[in-house]
Structure 1
């Protein structure tokens, strides 16, 4: 057994990560609710926006959350600082944050983050099996970002991963329901939806459509049909903000953000993004046409998911963890210890680049932990997308090889995901 395989299966690493995550959640909960207790000023992060939007929804003013100017005022009431975090989530997710807003923000954050992180870990464990520690090491910076900000990256990736597991297991009703729940962030579900369409899982798609229609109906009943007009207005505003460079591009993983940050105008950047999305989906479809294993199809779907939309942040790269989970046994069988270390290093750069830039940017430190200040952002080079493409290419080269070693400890038996789908842990 090589050093890389040994570390990737060392359960103590998972225990250490879990303990660290619990501590981080505890400290962050205090920072959300009582920042003075830990000697820091109140700064807004992503979950603050969740809580504020939920409070507006609870008082019948969700339409105000979708207006950037009004939402900015509400954010300023909380921190006393002008921040820029527009609310562009669809009304069904607004109903979720409304429920969360009934609790004090520290408790609400801890509950949401703790439960969604647990869900994500269970899905990863089902996919990666004993190689969960290796996956967690590779995406550690992404875990920190989501744990600290309270973003929904764990929830979204958990839904996608659970959908793919259910799809492989021919549980169409469950898979359809999970796909329908991706109405929360539909731009990240394009490739997985395409996979369901390719497999002609029409019953699955029908269930997904019913779930979407039900969620739309519930949201319309709660907030009125006019809320969809406000939501559409928010999307138009967000498009304008993206073209003006108001968002922290250095934390985005899209080709659009990279091109924009390198001086290309928004039109050139969006063309580059469109070409990237087409190429990613074309590679995915080509793999489907030529035929490949269920694990590789799923990994490719996850890899393509974060390359489609111009609006994709580092916290959405929890989906990258799913892709790695599907192929990590094959990587370890084919790569040297040095190559495995390079995969891990590239994963850290992809996940931690935005965090590193934020630490060293004075404007970011003076604004909030989400790295957003009011007005156009400094055009710091955004290197996440090119590094991500390098990571994809490097892994593809490794997976095209014949195995370098034969496992004597059961690793080879892990090669068939379909067989592992028969294990009880994935059936629950």
Structure 2
């Protein structure tokens, strides 16, 4: 009954419009509330830093000419502690310099307004791309991923932007490869989430996409070098090395991560064993990319498969990064609606919900109790849930949908393609 009830929402234009309007209104309220909270105008309790605070701090450092301090954990801890009024929480900065430069303009305005502009613009882009991909299924995808969008807004993360960029790669890959390559190149802000599509582009010999993406990375790197100096790259690489030690020692909030590495670590396995399992998961994910590249199937199914496995290659993926999965589901829904049984669709719709919801509840628990050790001892729900979810979807698409399809649109041009 659950999938049937959920799918009934998309049956008429009036129902879709009503639900979409309601969801967008809730998201707007959440954005305004968080902007006020960040502006410290009296709403909310507690002032622990959220991710957007880390973005804003780095943007300020850009203008001060000391952005290299964002990559030096010992110095960044002191800066974040001062901003948070003495809180002990710490958010390492491991983003490539391109993202630091992208954030710089936001430091010129108050933090509340900066958050409002950043989140509202990236949310608008994400929703526009998702609507193009999902068509009549747009409201269905919104409901399933509403908790994940919620946790993204709550912490002010950039996953709305990265999901939109991946969606643009899917939209423009065949007909506008320069645009697709540009979007893929801009994923340098979170390169570990773009590995699957980079491999897919090479396997498909889409050289315009590959060369455009490479050009974007090289040009943006040259700009960063000119602005920050060549030493910014050694600082960045050192932060990456330091973060790998953090990850190995379990110092990240792995209950919020969605990788098999995080799942096994929170279950008590050693770092080495969890890394081996993560390696196996990455190999299997790339095998799906290989199948998608060479097996005859509709374009939207190719891109959908690549999108859903792109989040399980790296051990470093959070619940908000799961939004990329919404891009894959939007593309695959026509095939799933046609081929999946009702109980299978129920699982596909149900499993993404606790991934975002659990992350949100855990984030609120940590903010209110200041008991990081208690939160870190919990299981990675997302890490355990995402494996059967991907396995089920991949199995349905590869074993039923593509093999029985008669006619398919060759390009992802619009929602009904």
* Pairs within 5 Å for 1:322-337: 322-335=327-340
2:125 & 2:212 partners in 1: Cα distance? 22
1:137 & 1:115 partners in 2: Cα distance? 20
DSSP-derived class of the 1:82 partner: coil
For 1:188-242, what per-residue CA distance to the aligned partner results, in whole angstroms no more than 9, with x for missing partners?
0011111111221112211111111110011111111101111011111101111
* Pairs within 5 Å for 1:67-216: 67-80=72-85, 81-169=87-175, 171-216=176-221
Aligned position for 1:224: 229
Shift of 1:351: 2.5
Aligned position for 1:407: none
2:355 & 2:368 partners in 1: Cα distance? 21
For 1:356-408, what per-residue CA distance to the aligned partner results, in whole angstroms no more than 9, with x for missing partners?
3444x5x55334xxxx94x89633221212211111233345444479xxxxx
- For these two proteins, the number of residue pairs brought into alignment is 407
TM-score by length of 2: 0.91
For 1:22-48, what per-residue CA distance to the aligned partner results, in whole angstroms no more than 9, with x for missing partners?
10000000000115x214232210000
**Contact 1:3–1:337 (CA under 8 A) maintained in structure 2:** no
**Contact 1:261–1:381 (CA under 8 A) maintained in structure 2:** yes
Q: Structure 1's 417 and 118: CA in aligned 2 closer, same or farther, altered over 3 A?
A: farther
1:21 & 1:226 partners in 2: Cα distance? 41
Aligned position for 1:320: 325
For 1:108-141, what per-residue CA distance to the aligned partner results, in whole angstroms no more than 9, with x for missing partners?
0010000000000111011111210001111111
With 216-225 and 200-209 compared, the bigger mean Cα shift is at 200-209
Shift of 1:417: 5.0
Q: Structure 1's 352 and 159: CA in aligned 2 closer, same or farther, altered over 3 A?
A: same
**Contact 1:31–1:38 (CA under 8 A) maintained in structure 2:** yes
Query: Given the alignment, which residue of 290, 293, 298 partners 1:288?
Result: 293
* Pairs within 5 Å for 1:10-21: 10-21=16-27
**Contact 2:178–2:209 (CA under 8 A) maintained in structure 1:** yes
Q: Quick check: 1:421 aligned with 2:413?
A: yes
Aligned position for 1:366: 369
Aligned position for 1:380: 378
With 323-332 and 43-52 compared, the bigger mean Cα shift is at 323-332
Shift of 1:86: 0.6
Q: Structure 1's 7 and 416: CA in aligned 2 closer, same or farther, altered over 3 A?
A: farther
**Contact 2:292–2:306 (CA under 8 A) maintained in structure 1:** no
With 109-118 and 328-337 compared, the bigger mean Cα shift is at 328-337
Unmatched 5+ stretches in structure 1? 404-411
DSSP-derived class of the 1:309 partner: coil
1:68 & 1:229 partners in 2: Cα distance? 14
Aligned position for 2:8: 6
With 308-317 and 379-388 compared, the bigger mean Cα shift is at 379-388
Q: Structure 1's 376 and 220: CA in aligned 2 closer, same or farther, altered over 3 A?
A: farther
Q: Quick check: 1:305 aligned with 2:305?
A: no
For 1:288-316, what per-residue CA distance to the aligned partner results, in whole angstroms no more than 9, with x for missing partners?
33322211110111111101001000010
Deviating 4+ runs (over 6 angstroms): none
Aligned position for 2:34: 28
Shift of 1:177: 1.2
1:270 & 1:251 partners in 2: Cα distance? 17
Query: Given the alignment, which residue of 379, 388, 391 partners 2:389?
Result: 391
**Contact 1:306–1:317 (CA under 8 A) maintained in structure 2:** yes
For 1:233-263, what per-residue CA distance to the aligned partner results, in whole angstroms no more than 9, with x for missing partners?
1111101111111100000011111111111
TM-score by length of 1: 0.89
Unmatched 5+ stretches in structure 2? none
Alpha-carbon RMSD across the aligned residues, in angstroms, is 2.5
Shift of 1:416: 4.4
1:194 & 1:22 partners in 2: Cα distance? 37
Shift of 1:287: 3.6
Shift of 1:6: 2.7
With 66-75 and 289-298 compared, the bigger mean Cα shift is at 289-298
Q: Structure 1's 84 and 201: CA in aligned 2 closer, same or farther, altered over 3 A?
A: same
